[in-house]
Amino acid sequence: MDIVEKKIISIGGGGFTHQADKFLDEFVINQIIDRKIKFGFLPTASKDNLNKIKVYYEELKKYNLELSHFELCSKVKGFSNWIMDQDIIYVGGGNTNFMLDLWQANKLYKYFEKAYNSGIILSGVSAGAVCWFEWIFTDSLGDGYKPLRGMNFISGSCTPHAAEKNRIYEFELSIKNKKIPSGIAIDDGVAVLFINGKPTSVCSSNKNRNAYFIDDNNNRIVLNDHIKKTNE
């Protein structure tokens, strides 16, 4: 029996939905090179914003992709079949709490899990980067940054937009105070590839942007260095 390689790609910010750092889109797309890719977009976190959907089709039409999207704010019927028909799922940014509340209320987590376990690549930016983690550090709950339970496909915690000084400070403080477990902070313009729940590589569109592992002792370690150390 073949062992399924389970992949998640988390982008801190940028990509086609922000019309920036297009190199990151290609990093996601190039995970599959042997066939035309079925590439599915979920704009739930933006409340199915029509402009984001329009940008998705405009920005990605130049690639050899079979593009589709699913508006979960208006319907869920057919979602289970749609998601299993994709090669790559891309979750857009927006309000993380709203998105996860809607997915939970409609009992959709099980379909994401089935897709993940079958080898369909899960990816996304901002809210779509962090939703896969055990814990999310977000401002989508209102009143500053707070921990939020994620889908738990990847253990530990995560925050996007790590270059925002107040965000990463609060993230590190929450880890230090044991409010959330150790985790990963990802700058805008940076994508992290996880295979079977572990970070394996970092793709950056700018040498000054990075991803970091914040350990239980509150040390901030460049994620590539952490990957190398854990693989020694």
- Give the model confidence (pLDDT) of 104-149 as tens digits: 999 999 999 999 999 999 999 999 999 999 999 999 988 899 999 9
**Residue 12 domain-assigned?**
yes
**Residue 188 domain-assigned?**
yes
* Residue 232: predicted pLDDT: 63
**Residue 107 domain-assigned?**
yes
Catalytic, 226? Answer no
**Residue 1 domain-assigned?**
no
Confidence of residue 20 (pLDDT cuts 50, 70, 90): low
Residue with tokens 């039409």: 61
Which range marks the domain in which residue 204 is found?
7-230
Give the whole-angstrom CA distance, residue 133 versus residue 159: 10
Q: 3-state DSSP call for residue 220?
A: strand
Candidate list 161, 204, 205, 226, residue with the active-site label: 161
**Residue 137 domain-assigned?**
yes
Give the whole-angstrom CA distance, residue 108 versus residue 100: 9
- Neighbouring residues of 70: CB distance < 8 A, sequence distance ≥ 6: 40, 41, 42, 78, 79, 82, 83
Residue with tokens 């977000």: 138
**Residue 92 domain-assigned?**
yes
Give the whole-angstrom CA distance, residue 188 versus residue 3: 33
Give the whole-angstrom CA distance, residue 7 versus residue 120: 7
Candidate list 126, 157, 204, 205, residue with the active-site label: 126
**Residue 87 domain-assigned?**
yes
Q: 3-state DSSP call for residue 129?
A: helix
Confidence of residue 19 (pLDDT cuts 50, 70, 90): low
Record the tokens describing residue 78, joined without a space: 């057919």
Mean of per-residue pLDDT scores for the chain? 94
**Residue 50 domain-assigned?**
yes
* Residue 230: predicted pLDDT: 81
Q: In what order do the strands lie in the sheet with 65-69?
A: 65-69, 37-42, 88-91, 121-125, 7-11, 190-195, 198-204
Task: Report the domain count for the chain.
Answer: 1
| CATH number, residue 85 | 3.40.50.880
Catalytic, 174? Answer no
